[in-house]
Chain A
Amino acid sequence: MPEKLKTSKARSVFERVQSLDRSLIQLVLILGALSVFCLYSIDKGQGSTYLKHLLRFSFAFFILLAIAITNIEFWYRYSYHFYFLNLFILFIIKFIGVSAKGAQRWLDFGVFHIQPSELAKLSIILVLAKFFNSVKVENVNKIYSLLVSTILILIPFLLVLKQPDLGTAILILGAAVGVLWIVGINRKIFISCVVIVILSLPLIFAGLKTYQKQRVLNFFNAEKDPLGKNYQVIQAKIGVGSGGIFGKGYMKGSQSALNFVPENHTDFVFSHFAEEFGLLGAILLLWLFFKIIKKITVVGDQCHNNFSKIFCYAFAFNFFLYIAINLGMVTGLLPVVGVPLPILSYGGTALLTNMMGFGIVLSAKLYNEHF
């Protein structure tokens, strides 16, 4: 094995890039291209949003490649460091963060605004993967492992919730619960947790911010205040509904292009997509997402070590969570919680974390034999 390790390290960067999983990279590139086209159409070819996105995507893709050709052992070794660094940033952001739209979520790096809460989704998966990698299978349901994992989850969750960013906090929790599910925590525990959450819902609701309460209330009472808080959702639903089977055609969507759908660059990009490309386009897009998730789980299946396995599965679950919540939100099935559609939505950090995740998955495959 040490010999194998040497030979892999001896391989040049070019060789390593060449031997990456082509189909996953293709799928990611297709999504990236779609997102650039979509943003171009939303602005009717004016403005520079799509160029910015293209630039960011290229940058993120470069990061993806860099991570992919780095041995996954790096992430295994440093996952705790990464996790605590992330917690630290989340903590200090309270004091030096840039406020955007009422929440302190951003860290200004000059060119890039980074949302540490987005990175937390990745770090929680990594740290849990490492933790459960170290736990024997028969000890998974022991109090000790449950307690440690709960603490690991709750700290970033509460920090993000405090920012306040409900959407990201829910996704962090979702990603973490996904890991717990995948590593085989007893179903009874999950069921009792769900019961506890449902029972404590009134308490949770009381603790929400006013605008968060509004959103939840609006979800249950959509058309009552059409120009108010729920305006986004109604218009997005109209956008989705007006596409028909084949859509209105590229650059022809009126709901989104005419600014009916606010935030259509970011969280509501799907409504624009569905309006222009119709039901058929939406099905193709969902199929594409499914292919990606399937691909990641296949990589997970092939992995020889549990850290990689858990990471791949958990990342696939996280990816799935993003899509489900975003689409649920856009189609009016869920309240608006501010979850972007992976890769397709305009926005820096979410793109970056997802691409990093893909990078780690690719690395898991590349270094399957050399960890």
Chain B
Amino acid sequence: MIKDKNKKNNFYYSNDSNKNESAFSDVSLILKNRINIVLKSFLIIISIILVRLLYLGFSHTNEINFDNFISEKDYNTRLNIVDRSNLLIATSVDVYDLVLKVDKARNLSELLAKLKKEKEFKNINVEEIKKESLLKKRIVLKKKLDPEEYKKAVLLGEPSLELNKRQVRIYPQRNLFSHVLGQIDDDYKGISGIESYFNSKILNTTDPSSTFQITLDSVIQSQIRQELLEAINTYSSKGAAALLMNVNSGEIISLVSLPDFDPNRRESLNDNKFFNKITLGTYELGSVFKSFVIADALELKLVDENTIFENLQSKTYCGNKVFHEHDKKIKNLTTSEILIKSSNVGAMLIGEKVNKERYKNFLTKIGLFDLPSVEIPEKTKPLNVNWSECTLDTASYGHGISTTPIQLASAYATLVNGGYKIYPTLIKKKNSHKQERIISSDTSSRMIKMLRRVVDKTDPAEGTGRKADISGYSVIGKTGTADKPAKDTKGYTHQYISVFVAIYPEEKPENLLLIMIDEPKSSITKGIYRTESAWNAVPVAGSIIKKIGPILAEKNYNIAFNVKQDK
């Protein structure tokens, strides 16, 4: 049917008739016109494409955009932590993990074979990954790519390979701030120290360029840590700790607890090196408590500095318990001399004057049994003491009663800062001003004078702190040596904790340095004949003050703190 029609109407047989001839030329013309339009539009489209090519050439898309390969899944930022002079002590760096997106891989075996051929990734376990690919959508092929591996991964240009950007926490000073800064876990969450306590403040803040500042001073911290390391070596001790604090504001300038750890490494937290001796350890700290019983007695006006206690025996009794004095001679001592010579029997007599209830209240009020206010989670509240018959006697010279070194330090700050309670802190407070009065300023200044005599080399009483009397600093302080309680049995071991609280200057106390040495040994070859505080903690404090004194004087933190001085 169609074929017949074709025969009839076919334009082709051009020589059939004139009519067809003209029809053909008609059609021809139409065709020609129409195809010319097509040709013209082709030229237009070619020019459009050329313009587009020029545009692409000049636009900035002509660089390989590495960002296309980077995902920021689980990307968290943590603020940099800086010390009080804005020195970086904790920071974050970006690292990249090579991630395989299983569902985007067209041919997994081929892809893995290709990867394995590259020398950067020759360690990948093909079989393991294939097994994993059945279960997981994203497989981490390699963590923390180095620059070479990163470049190679990008140049592979595989859409199924992704570089997952995440941050890694770096502590440039390694061990220096370990107990203060703490550590973070794999989810980038703080698990100890400042990192944990201020986790929400440090993590993912709106302003990532800001920093988180703490009150520690890197230079002083490192000086003190160095001295303590040497001390551990000299006295063959198990450990040592130090705290440097401003007595007016409670700002901690240095906190060292040895042994310490490198927060850059992730280890089990069970090791004793993670133990913060200053805030988490509770110890019977010995004679340093004598200051409290005397301060209480002065405050209650039961005694004054020159009250004489006569015929002090070398032994006293509480029930059937016997207390020994270091010095075997029977003697008469004034209140000052009891403190300077650190007489246990003398302290007990003062304690009896004060009486149990009042002394207990005083120790509580001055904060010795408080949970430390310092902003780290590793801290403890000393156990409640069961005040039995003889507790008053022992507590007068610091036995049978325990506290944390940091609370001891803050109690001493109260004794010397005019009588105000302070709260140790790692964070700069804009206006920290003293409010809660514990003792009168008169008692405070009397205590300062007595404590000065403990250290004063020229004092005829020959105090226990003489080795820390660095000229020019008029150091005041009190020593303490305590037997460590036995762990398994009742009673005490022959191992000591020796502690020295040094404060200077006498005229207007500012800096409090607490030194604690855990189980110091005597060493005759080194000229160390005894194990009491006077022979170890005191000289260590002396040499630290000698080193940090000029630095502290220059920085003048007391002014920088903007502490309102109370008259």
Contact = CB atoms under 8 A, between A and B. Distances in A.
- Bind each other: yes
Interface of A: 80, 130, 133-137, 178, 181-184, 226-227, 231, 234-235, 237-238, 240-245, 254-255, 258-260, 262, 274, 279, 282-283, 286, 289-290, 293-294, 297, 300-301, 304-307, 309-310, 313, 316-317, 320, 323-324, 327-328, 331-333, 371
Interface string B296-313: 000000000000000000
B162 A333 contact: no
B38 to A, nearest CB: 5
**6 tightest A-B CB contacts, nearest first:** A241-B56, A241-B62, A184-B30, A305-B12, A242-B62, A260-B157
Contacts of B11: 133, 137, 305-306
B481 to A, nearest CB: 68
Nearest to A282: B53
Interface of B: 2, 5-6, 9-12, 14, 23-24, 26-28, 30-32, 34-35, 38-39, 42-43, 45-46, 48-50, 52-54, 56-57, 59, 61-65, 67-69, 71, 104, 155-159, 162
Contacts, number: 152
Contact of B31 (A184, A226, A371): A184
Given A260-B157, A307-B12, A313-B38, 6 more contacts: A184-B31, A227-B159, A297-B35, A304-B14, A306-B12, A328-B49
Given A241-B62, A324-B45, A283 B159 contact: no
Given A238-B64, A331-B53, A290 B30 contact: no
B6 A133 contact: yes
A237 B56 contact: yes
A71 to B, nearest CB: 13
Contacts of B63: 238, 242
B9 A135 contact: yes
A324 B64 contact: no
Contacts of A238: 61-65
Contact of A371 (B12, B38, B49, B67): B12
Contacts of B23: 136-137
A293 B24 CA distance: 23
Nearest to A312: B35
A134 B9 contact: yes
Contacts of B12: 133, 304-307, 371
Contacts of B162: 227
Contact of B35 (A289, A313, A323): A313
23 contacts: A137-B30, A181-B38, A182-B31, A182-B34, A184-B31, A227-B69, A242-B63, A245-B57, A259-B157, A260-B157, A279-B57, A286-B46, A297-B39, A304-B14, A305-B11, A305-B14, A309-B31, A316-B38, A317-B35, A320-B42, A331-B53, A332-B52, A333-B48
A226 B68 contact: yes
Nearest to A254: B64
Contact of A279 (B31, B54, B59, B157): B54
Given A258-B157, A286-B50, A328-B49, A241 B57 contact: yes
A137 B26 contact: yes
Contacts of B10: 133-134
A245 B34 CA distance: 35
B32 A301 contact: yes
Given A133-B6, A226-B68, A328-B49, A310 B38 contact: no
A243 B158 CA distance: 21
Question: Of residues A227, A237, A262, A313, which shows the largest number of chain B Cβ atoms within 10 Å of its Cβ?
Answer: A227
